[in-house]
Amino acid sequence: MEIVLSAAIGVLAGSGIWLMMRPRTFQVIIGLALMSYAVNIFIFSMGRLTVGAPPIMPKGGFINPQNYADPLPQALVLTAIVISFATTALFLVVMIASRGMTGTDHVDGKDR
């Protein structure tokens, strides 16, 4: 499971970096979104990969924390998803406005 997750993070990060180097603004925005997905999966994986483990511990007595999932990375990723969605929407609006003003969708504003 860890190898598959590591490969997914690597592919998303590599694709995101490659797209951020492209000259067109839409490709840069998609690259930023892929990078945010890679970071979200990385943060989520830091909370231990346990399947079917409840995130809330019951009260009373000695409790083995290895049997429970860490809820903090889950909360951080949920917050990051909302923020990245809003940021991507803002970038798309700025891209559309820039295209209307300059007539091109290149990052530097020049057609090649």
Helix (H, G, I), strand (E, B) or coil at 42: helix
Residue range 56-85: average pLDDT? 81
pLDDT tens, residue by residue, 8-52: 999 999 999 999 999 888 999 999 999 999 999 998 888 777 777
Q: Judge residue 89's burial from the number of C-beta atoms within 10 Å of its C-beta, 0-12 exposed, 13-18 middle, 19 or more buried.
A: exposed
Residue 112 — pLDDT band, cuts 50, 70, 90? low
Q: Name the residue among 11, 29, 51, 31 with its Cα closest to residue 95.
A: 29
CATH C-level class of 2-50+70-102? mainly alpha
Q: What are the two backbone dihedrals, phi and then psi, of residue 24, each rounded to the nearest 5 degrees?
A: -95, 145
Q: Provide the 10 A C-beta neighbour count for residue 92.
A: 13
pLDDT tens, residue by residue, 74-96: 888 999 999 999 999 999 999 89
Contacts of 48 (CB under 8 A, 6+ apart): 69, 70
- 55 pLDDT more than 70: no
Q: What are the two backbone dihedrals, phi and then psi, of residue 89, each rounded to the nearest 5 degrees?
A: -65, -40
